[in-house]
Homo-oligomer: A and B are copies of this chain.
């Protein structure tokens, strides 16, 4: 007998939220047939803002803090969460959302740029909590299991995406620091017992400044490391000279969005080295104006607007003069003249490097042509894997999506593991001295001599997530009968600590017949690639950064996108979270809907996640109907791909809503055709017939509405009634679905 259960479907932002208006009614109708309730939780930016100010709103305007509730749920065994992409809000986005909510009658304060009063400070603190990547870290109470679904893989083998040809004579490469970076300075310890530590700076004068106090758990791994500002700047200068000499284009690849404290500083040095002459000449003026190179060269353009026209012109001339002494730079938008150094969030290493490798190792030059490129990635820790892949492509040619295997990932992610939780422990040095990590009893655990400008950071990795990660790796290796490689570099202090734990925790499992190895990153990626081109799969078992990088890198080669990956977070408490898509929340899609009533968003990620959620629910709660819903949804998704019923980008053709209809059609046909559960068969047979008979009519209704602007009553918080009407325009389809209940 089955236990009653429910699926929590997150309501998020922009395109995924719009798609939810169309997809959710279908999901609810089908899930009900297995006794599964589907509930939503609103974790949109708007809802999170409103929840932050619930105490200041009228009762009828108050909104629950669904994110906080979800965070609690994530730590309970019954969690079953479908997590759609949400906005990681920048300040401009936040301000726009605030304005919209105020216009809708929500009495919330403005965003205080420069808070002075207590009220302003309080508001700023509340808004800070909704800024940036504020959802995932809270919900990710488990490690990560990402893989290419069989249906997607099969589809790609038949309909491969384009892959740029590689030349053996390609000059492209990845360049990184050979000393002076985080890699070379990393120290790591494992806490024998729980204990408090403090991070402190000791000045040349012996004065001690406590930067941070932390309570560490027993068995927690704690790392510290720094990047030398001087060596970083020397490195940038050397790479620029090298490109100037060889004629290879220069490009910078960091992850300023995620590594939100350290990487903007690294990015800023790139800007002020590239435009060294300008920053040298106008140093004092720029300081007065508040120019911040960490915001990109656009910061200069912004801030000089207050100057007289002639002075502006002089500075712009000097900026242009810089280009003659510098190599050509990769363009983000060659038409608009936007380079790699314009703003820090345009080029994100985990997306930009796979794109480069997929495009013959080339990036766009200012003439709009693809060119060989030096990809500059200061941190050598992870940059080396890209150079390994570039060398591999030079030698073996581009990957072939029709024959290549797969590299699924098991990633250590839970509880803000490793660098991705380092932001509150990252410091830019203002003077020379030493940084140290000290136990409560005064024992110095780690120490670095640092100089002004150096970036020092500490990372935490708790023991329970590591133990769970090892278990997940073994489970995946067993379930998929696939070799698994732990990517652990014996030359990294942190990885040596992890390796000890992995060796111990592996003993908790039956490893009979499994092929589980540990290799440094270069070896690991190389072996995985050698297998890949022979059609063989290899599980990568990695830390948090590599998880993020690899689950773009390999999917983009294999599937052309990382959005088609299954992204499961088996929660440590026993529940499951199923993340859908990885392509962000797609603001351009919303614009197209509003202007032309066409939504190109592809809900494939939701279909895939739902199928796994249903299957796992079925297994966990002994609900055979749920399992069957899952397997039939998988089959329907495969058929959808095969029949080319994914949304088109072009207005007038099948869009998100149309693909939802086809999903419902195929899903119901699968259920009507199966004989495992005759009750379900009987229940879905009429719907299968109704949808099949009315296919042309429904598609026509869905198509008829397109081409005209629509009003959904808001961007960040659209009107539910209006939006639902827009997103469910087929009366025939709606009626057929309603008849199922």
- Residues in chain A within 8 A of chain B (CB atoms): 167-171, 173, 175, 242-243, 246-248, 372, 374, 387-388, 391, 394-395, 526
| Minimum CB–CB distance for A59 against chain B, Å | 64
Complex contacts, A175 vs chain B, CB 8 Å: 168
A321 and B242 alpha carbons, distance in the complex (Å): 37
| Minimum CB–CB distance for A230 against chain B, Å | 21
The one of B167, B171, B374, B387 in contact with A170, judged by C-beta atoms closer than 8 angstroms, is B171
| Minimum CB–CB distance for A48 against chain B, Å | 45
Q: How many copies does the complex hold?
A: 2
Complex contacts, A395 vs chain B, CB 8 Å: 173, 387-388, 391
Known A168-B173, A169-B374, A388-B395; further 17 A-B contacts with Cβ < 8 A: A167-B242, A168-B175, A168-B242, A169-B171, A169-B173, A169-B242, A169-B243, A169-B247, A169-B248, A169-B372, A170-B171, A171-B171, A173-B394, A387-B395, A391-B391, A391-B395, A526-B526
| Minimum CB–CB distance for A96 against chain B, Å | 43
* In the A-B complex, the 7 residue pairs with the closest CB atoms: A169-B246, A391-B391, A169-B171, A168-B173, A169-B248, A387-B395, A171-B171
Q: Which residue of B lies closest to A247 (CB)?
A: B169
Complex contacts, A391 vs chain B, CB 8 Å: 391, 394-395
Interface core residue of A243, A248, A395 (most chain B CB under 10 Å)? A395
A208 and B332 alpha carbons, distance in the complex (Å): 67
A526 and B167 alpha carbons, distance in the complex (Å): 22
Complex contacts, A246 vs chain B, CB 8 Å: 167, 169
A439 and B187 alpha carbons, distance in the complex (Å): 65
Q: Which residue of B lies closest to A396 (CB)?
A: B178
Q: Which residue of B lies closest to A388 (CB)?
A: B395
Given contacts A391-B394, A394-B173, contact A374 B168 (CB under 8 A): yes
Interface core residue of A168, A173, A243, A387 (most chain B CB under 10 Å)? A168
Complex contacts, A170 vs chain B, CB 8 Å: 171
Sample of 22 A–B contacts (CB below 8 Å):
A167-B242, A167-B246, A168-B173, A168-B175, A168-B242, A168-B374, A169-B171, A169-B173, A169-B242, A169-B243, A169-B246, A169-B247, A169-B248, A169-B372, A169-B374, A171-B171, A387-B395, A388-B395, A391-B391, A391-B394, A391-B395, A526-B526
Q: Which residue of B lies closest to A397 (CB)?
A: B178
A242 and B372 alpha carbons, distance in the complex (Å): 16
A248 and B372 alpha carbons, distance in the complex (Å): 15
Complex contacts, A171 vs chain B, CB 8 Å: 169-171
Complex contacts, A173 vs chain B, CB 8 Å: 168-169, 394-395
A387 and B168 alpha carbons, distance in the complex (Å): 10
A246 and B169 alpha carbons, distance in the complex (Å): 7
A372 and B167 alpha carbons, distance in the complex (Å): 14
A167 and B171 alpha carbons, distance in the complex (Å): 9
| Minimum CB–CB distance for A265 against chain B, Å | 25
Interface core residue of A173, A242, A247 (most chain B CB under 10 Å)? A173
Q: Which residue of B lies closest to A239 (CB)?
A: B168
A374 and B394 alpha carbons, distance in the complex (Å): 12
Q: Which residue of B lies closest to A243 (CB)?
A: B169
Complex contacts, A242 vs chain B, CB 8 Å: 167-169
Complex contacts, A169 vs chain B, CB 8 Å: 171, 173, 242-243, 246-248, 372, 374
A170 and B243 alpha carbons, distance in the complex (Å): 12
Q: Which residue of B lies closest to A534 (CB)?
A: B491
| Minimum CB–CB distance for A242 against chain B, Å | 7
A242 and B170 alpha carbons, distance in the complex (Å): 11
Complex contacts, A374 vs chain B, CB 8 Å: 168-169
Q: Which residue of B lies closest to A172 (CB)?
A: B169
| Minimum CB–CB distance for A447 against chain B, Å | 26
| Minimum CB–CB distance for A489 against chain B, Å | 12
A515 and B460 alpha carbons, distance in the complex (Å): 35
A526 and B170 alpha carbons, distance in the complex (Å): 21
| Minimum CB–CB distance for A291 against chain B, Å | 32
Complex contacts, A247 vs chain B, CB 8 Å: 169
A171 and B169 alpha carbons, distance in the complex (Å): 4
A24 and B335 alpha carbons, distance in the complex (Å): 78
A372 and B247 alpha carbons, distance in the complex (Å): 14
| Minimum CB–CB distance for A308 against chain B, Å | 43
Complex contacts, A526 vs chain B, CB 8 Å: 526
A167 and B246 alpha carbons, distance in the complex (Å): 9
| Minimum CB–CB distance for A436 against chain B, Å | 29
Complex contacts, A168 vs chain B, CB 8 Å: 173, 175, 242, 374
Complex contacts, A248 vs chain B, CB 8 Å: 169
A246 and B394 alpha carbons, distance in the complex (Å): 13
| Minimum CB–CB distance for A248 against chain B, Å | 5
Q: Which residue of B lies closest to A246 (CB)?
A: B169
A243 and B372 alpha carbons, distance in the complex (Å): 16
| Minimum CB–CB distance for A375 against chain B, Å | 10
A480 and B169 alpha carbons, distance in the complex (Å): 40
A270 and B171 alpha carbons, distance in the complex (Å): 26
A168 and B176 alpha carbons, distance in the complex (Å): 11
| Minimum CB–CB distance for A518 against chain B, Å | 15
A173 and B243 alpha carbons, distance in the complex (Å): 20
| Minimum CB–CB distance for A483 against chain B, Å | 15
Q: Which residue of B lies closest to A170 (CB)?
A: B171
Q: Which residue of B lies closest to A491 (CB)?
A: B534
A262 and B266 alpha carbons, distance in the complex (Å): 56
A102 and B185 alpha carbons, distance in the complex (Å): 75
A242 and B166 alpha carbons, distance in the complex (Å): 12
| Minimum CB–CB distance for A104 against chain B, Å | 55
| Minimum CB–CB distance for A399 against chain B, Å | 15
A173 and B171 alpha carbons, distance in the complex (Å): 11
Complex contacts, A243 vs chain B, CB 8 Å: 169
Q: Which residue of B lies closest to A248 (CB)?
A: B169
| Minimum CB–CB distance for A648 against chain B, Å | 37
Q: Which residue of B lies closest to A372 (CB)?
A: B169
A72 and B246 alpha carbons, distance in the complex (Å): 59
A476 and B442 alpha carbons, distance in the complex (Å): 51
A171 and B243 alpha carbons, distance in the complex (Å): 14
Complex contacts, A372 vs chain B, CB 8 Å: 169
A395 and B167 alpha carbons, distance in the complex (Å): 17
